[in-house]
Amino acid sequence: MQHPEDDQTLDIISYIEEKPAHGQTVGYIRVSTTDQNTIRQLDGVELNKTFVDKISGSTGIKDRPELKKLFEYVRAGDTVVIHSFDRLARDLNILISLIQQLNDKGVALKSIKEDITFNGANNAMDKFILHIFGAVAEFQKSLIAEARQEGINKRKKLGLYEGRKPSLSEEQQEALRARIKEKNSSMENYKKIKWSAVAKEFKVSEPTLMRYIKKLS
């Protein structure tokens, strides 16, 4: 004779057997606002859930709502699948940071185009690849800086380089000098005139304003 408790036991066993042994496979797709074809990026990949940002690649990470949701959704043991690394980030330093954040959560990342998988275990191979990525990022940065400096040197030789345009013109600096004098003319004015308001008046940041104050005082 079968007892009611046996049915409950079978239900529990069935639940355990149906529950995936591994985490979920989660897709992330980023397409520009003009590209409506989101399916082809991860075509043929079996996914439990997909997050899609229809947004330009130049848009900052903080302004990608679906990427934010993905990071909140994934758990240790999950795998995030992307078509290519540039779908996640174009800036290599930002890409490294995102991969590290996923690794820290125990979440794997697989890029189909590059055929590279970070298994989310923060193991020696993952760290080695991230180290290579970091070295490439530094190399790119140095190449850009070197090319910029070479361009400046060439313009200097031709007498075409005028240097960085100052934030405040000579006339504005004279006007700021008058404002400094006004602020320091009395205790009442010193309390009344705020540097934050003066910065807005001259349309510069407060740190920039303070540099000019130091220069003109």
pLDDT tens, residue by residue, 154-189: 877 777 666 667 788 888 888 889 989 888 888 888
Whether residues 95 and 177 share a domain: the answer is no
Number of other residues whose CB lies within 10 A of the CB of residue 127: 13
Whether residues 114 and 183 share a domain: the answer is no
- Domain boundary (120, 135, 155) is at 120
> Could you give the percent of the chain with pLDDT greater than 70?
84
* Residue 136 lies inside a defined structural domain of this protein: no
Rg (C-alpha) for the chain, rounded Å, is 28
* Residue 208 lies inside a defined structural domain of this protein: yes
Could you tell me which residues are beta bridge partners of residue 31?
54
Amino acid at 76: A
Q: What pLDDT, on a 0 to 100 scale, did the predictor assign at position 13?
A: 38
Whether residues 17 and 113 share a domain: the answer is yes
Q: What's the pLDDT tens digit per position in 58-99?
A: 778 888 999 999 999 999 999 999 998 888 888 888 888 999
Number of other residues whose CB lies within 10 A of the CB of residue 107: 25
Whether 167 and 203 have beta carbons less than 8 Å apart is answered as no
* Residue 94 lies inside a defined structural domain of this protein: yes
**Residue 17 pLDDT grade (very low, low, confident, very high; cuts 50, 70, 90):** very low
Question: How far apart, in whole angstroms, are the C-alpha atoms of residue 131 and residue 144?
Answer: 20
Could you tell me the residue range of the domain that residue 191 belongs to? 170-216
Buried b (16+ CB within 10 A) or exposed e, 13-41: eeeeeeeeeebbbbbbbbbeeeeeeeeeb
Question: How far apart, in whole angstroms, are the C-alpha atoms of residue 46 and residue 98?
Answer: 23
pTM: 0.55
Whether residues 18 and 114 share a domain: the answer is yes
Residues taking part in catalysis: 32
Question: How would you list the strands of the sheet with 116-118, edge to edge?
Answer: 49-54, 25-31, 79-82, 108-111, 116-118
Q: What pLDDT, on a 0 to 100 scale, did the predictor assign at position 101?
A: 93
Q: What pLDDT, on a 0 to 100 scale, did the predictor assign at position 48?
A: 95
Domain total of the chain: 2
Residue 7 has pLDDT above 80, yes or no: no
Tell me the mean pLDDT in the region 6-35.
61
* Residue 140 lies inside a defined structural domain of this protein: no
Q: What pLDDT, on a 0 to 100 scale, did the predictor assign at position 150?
A: 85
Question: Residue 53 is part of a domain; what is its CATH number?
Answer: 3.40.50.1390
- Domain boundary (85, 120, 155) is at 120
